[in-house]
Chains A and B, each alone.
Chain A
Amino acid sequence: MNEVWIFAEQKDGKLRGVSHELATEGRRLADSLETGLAAVCLGHNVQGVDQLVALGVDRVYLLEDPVLADHNEDVYTTCLVDLVRQHSPQVLLAGATTLGRSFIPRVAARLETGLAANCTGLEIDPQTRSLLQTRPCYGGTLMATVVCPEKRPQVATVRPHVFKKGPSDASRQGEIVRVDFDSSSVTSSTRLIDVIEDMGEKVKLEEADIIVCGGRGLGSPKNFDMLSELAEILGAALGSSRPPVDDGWVPYAYQVGQTGKTVSPKVYFACGISGAPQHLAGMQTSDIVVAINEDPKAPIFDIATYGIVGDLFKIVPLLTARLRQANA
Chain B
Amino acid sequence: MNVVVCMKQVPESVTISGVPQGTASVRPQGKMVINPFDMYALEEGIRLKERYGGRVTAISMGPAEAEEALKEAIALGIGEAVLVCDPILEHSDTLATSYVLARCIERLERPDIVICGRQATDGDTGQVAPQLAEQLGLPFLSYVSRIEDISDGRLTAQRLVDEGHQVVQVSLPAVISVVKEINEPRLPSLRGLMQAKKAEIPRWTAPDLGLDVSKVGLDGSPTRVVNVFVPQRSQQGQMLEGSPESQVDQLLEKLRDAKVI
**CA–CA, A141 and B161, complex, Å:** 26
Which of B24, B164, B169, B230 has a CB less than 8 Å from the CB of A190?
B169
Interface pair A308/B247, CB less than 8 Å apart: yes
Which of B123, B139, B237, B244 has a CB less than 8 Å from the CB of A304?
B237
Task: Tell me, yes or no, whether A69 is within 8 Å of chain B by CB.
Answer: no
Task: Tell me, yes or no, whether B98 is within 8 Å of chain A by CB.
Answer: yes
Q: Which residue of A lies closest to B158 (CB)?
A: A196
Q: List 17 A-B contacts (CB under 8 A).
A: A11-B163, A114-B95, A137-B123, A137-B125, A141-B16, A145-B228, A190-B171, A191-B168, A196-B165, A196-B167, A204-B162, A210-B261, A252-B179, A266-B260, A303-B234, A306-B238, A314-B244
**CA–CA, A284 and B235, complex, Å:** 12
Task: Tell me, yes or no, whether A180 is within 8 Å of chain B by CB.
Answer: no
Q: Which residue of B lies closest to A190 (CB)?
A: B170
Q: Which residue of B lies closest to A321 (CB)?
A: B248
Known A-B contacts A305-B234, A306-B238; the reply to A118 vs B124 at CB < 8 A is: yes
Interface pair A318/B244, CB less than 8 Å apart: yes
- 4 closest pairs, A vs B, by CB? A114-B222, A114-B223, A105-B130, A109-B134
Task: Tell me, yes or no, whether A62 is within 8 Å of chain B by CB.
Answer: no
Known A-B contacts A98-B162, A108-B95, A117-B127; the reply to A193 vs B169 at CB < 8 A is: yes
Identify which of A30-38, A51-59, A286-294 touches chain B. A286-294
Could you tell me the distance in whole angstroms from the C-beta of B162 to the nearest C-beta in chain A?
5
Could you tell me the distance in whole angstroms from the C-beta of A93 to the nearest C-beta in chain B?
15
Which residues from 143 to 201 on chain A have a C-beta closer than 8 Å to any C-beta of chain B?
Answer: 143-151, 188-199
Interface pair A142/B16, CB less than 8 Å apart: yes
Interface pair B231/A140, CB less than 8 Å apart: yes
**CA–CA, A267 and B258, complex, Å:** 10
**CA–CA, A258 and B117, complex, Å:** 13
Among the interface residues A110, A188, A189, A198, which one has the most CB atoms of the partner chain B within 10 A?
A189
Number of interface residues of A (CB under 8 A): 86
- B107-123 interface code vs A (CB 8 A; 1 in, 0 out): 00000000000000111
Contact partners of B174 in chain A: CB under 8 A:
189
Interface pair B162/A97, CB less than 8 Å apart: yes
Known A-B contacts A101-B126, A139-B124, A308-B247; the reply to A190 vs B223 at CB < 8 A is: no
Q: Which residue of A lies closest to B37 (CB)?
A: A259
Q: Which residue of B lies closest to A235 (CB)?
A: B261
Known A-B contacts A196-B166, A198-B165; the reply to A144 vs B237 at CB < 8 A is: no
Identify which of B74-82, B83-91, B141-149, B188-196 touches chain A. B141-149
Contact partners of B240 in chain A: CB under 8 A:
306-308
| Contacts from A to B (Cβ < 8 Å) | 11, 73-74, 97-98, 101-103, 105-106, 108-110, 112-118, 132, 135-151, 188-199, 204, 206-207, 209-210, 234, 252-253, 258-260, 266-267, 284, 287-290, 301-311, 314-315, 318-319, 322-323, 326
Interface pair A322/B248, CB less than 8 Å apart: yes
Contact partners of B222 in chain A: CB under 8 A:
112-114, 148, 150-151
Interface pair A105/B165, CB less than 8 Å apart: no
Interface pair B94/A306, CB less than 8 Å apart: no
**CA–CA, A204 and B255, complex, Å:** 21
Interface pair A319/B145, CB less than 8 Å apart: no
Task: Tell me, yes or no, whether B160 is within 8 Å of chain A by CB.
Answer: yes
Q: Which residue of B lies closest to A309 (CB)?
A: B239
Contact partners of B121 in chain A: CB under 8 A:
138-139, 258
Contact partners of A189 in chain B: CB under 8 A:
139, 170-171, 174
